[in-house]
Structure 1
Amino acid sequence: MISRRKFLRTASLASLALFVAPQLAARIRKSGQPRLQLRKDDCILFYGDSITDGNRNRENGGVSKPDALGGGYVLSVSSSLACRYPKMGFRFWNRGINGNKTFQMTARLDKDCLGLRYKPTVVSVLTGINDYSLSLARTGKGDPEKYETDLRELLTRIREGLPGVRLIVMEPYAIAGIREKTDSFLPGFRAYQPVTKRVAGEFEAVFVPLQEHFDRAGERYGKKKFSADGVHPFSAGIELIARAWLDAVEVAEE
């Protein structure tokens, strides 16, 4: 059973995110920046690593099922859209897998994206930090060129397999000043972020600048309220990601 102290702490972090995230999103989303338009009956696939996975129940791979969506930002985004726009008929898939690198996401694309029962019309991708971690472990440094190649291949395969698909690319992020181990690899990791933005632009994907959201929230409210290790989010961090994603879209209601 969850302790009263832990419950109150979790609730307070969630409340903080509900207050903070919309304000930050409004400041960060510059006027004129494109938003992705969600349409009636859109099927949205969230594709990524552990942050997307959110400890989802992989035994239940159903569309729009709460336990299949996990306990992270995917559930928050899906719940918000389903509640606010019940007549739009949105469907949601979560196919994040803990520890995945971009090339592994490409390798499982046929099963976890192109072969889904309800074909995605919108694919949201969050990847990059595990690519850097793998390169760092093997060579002692990052390899943003390989990451760029792998990300471009992933997005190309998605576009080729799902004609007309609309893309969202989320920026991989890491928060400094929380954990020494995370801080130690930040200088090399930062080179992966502009690569993500540049490739997103090449594919006409809507780009979600997560690093800026976390930096501003951390400066104002304290970094440790959003993550324990600088990567995996607390409830406040989860909601911050969700609000950043929601701010990058608009719904075309009939």
Structure 2
Amino acid sequence: MKVGLFIPCYIDQFYPQVGIATLQLLQKLGCQVEYPQGQTCCGQPMANSGFEHLTHGCNSLFVNHFADYDYIVAPSGSCVLHIKEHLHDPGREQQATNIRSRIYELTEFLTDVLKVSAIPAKFPHKVGLHQSCHGQRGLHLAQMSELVDKPYSKPAHLLGMVEGLELVPLDRTDECCGFGGTFCVTEEAVSVKMGVDRIADHVKHEASVITGTDVSCLMHLEGIINRRNEPLKVMHIAEILNSAY
């Protein structure tokens, strides 16, 4: 299958190793992957700030780059959800609609499309999984604790295939980290306190690594970890599944 790799701008600029790990992992699993040159921000920051009417250029560019792929995959639940719910392009609406139905977050793609049953990865560490809000409540990557239903987690399912990895239990498995895009700027104190609480949960259960499906959340947590000198590091799930480190 022909896969278009969508790498969000903050990953490209600050965490390029996550994009590389995503590419290598997909190739290991037999996908023909291309990275369309010239792709830029999907427009989510503007839309979240109330300026969706200014994202037309981003939408048009996205359709230009990704219309011809069988699937579009990205290591970011929030950006994928934005495209799924907000991508429109007047004059090419059918192409935009097709893209909305063919874009997947990485763990969603591995679980639901490739139906991966084994991953040749080794990571002998205690890992805490942060379930990001967009992925959990928007893309349904994991069950929400407020629903009385059978629990599941696509990221946790994949991590369970990694040799030597111990997934630690948490007291509050789906609590927001406080990042929330521009929320961490407009409500800095609340955002930081939420992040401190999430980190404390991982420290309490002796995790050495916090992983997740959204670099934005991990970036927020990493900043707090560094400032407080906590004995933790953050890694995107693609890095672990690819055994990048």
Asked if Structure 1 and Structure 2 have the same fold, meaning a TM-score greater than 0.5 normalized by the shorter chain, the answer is: no
Which range, TM-score by smaller chain? 0.3 to 0.5
Normalized per residue, the structure richer in helix is 1
Larger RCO, structure (CA 8 Å, separation 6 or more): 1
TM-score by length of 2: 0.38
Q: TM-score, normalised by structure 1?
A: 0.37
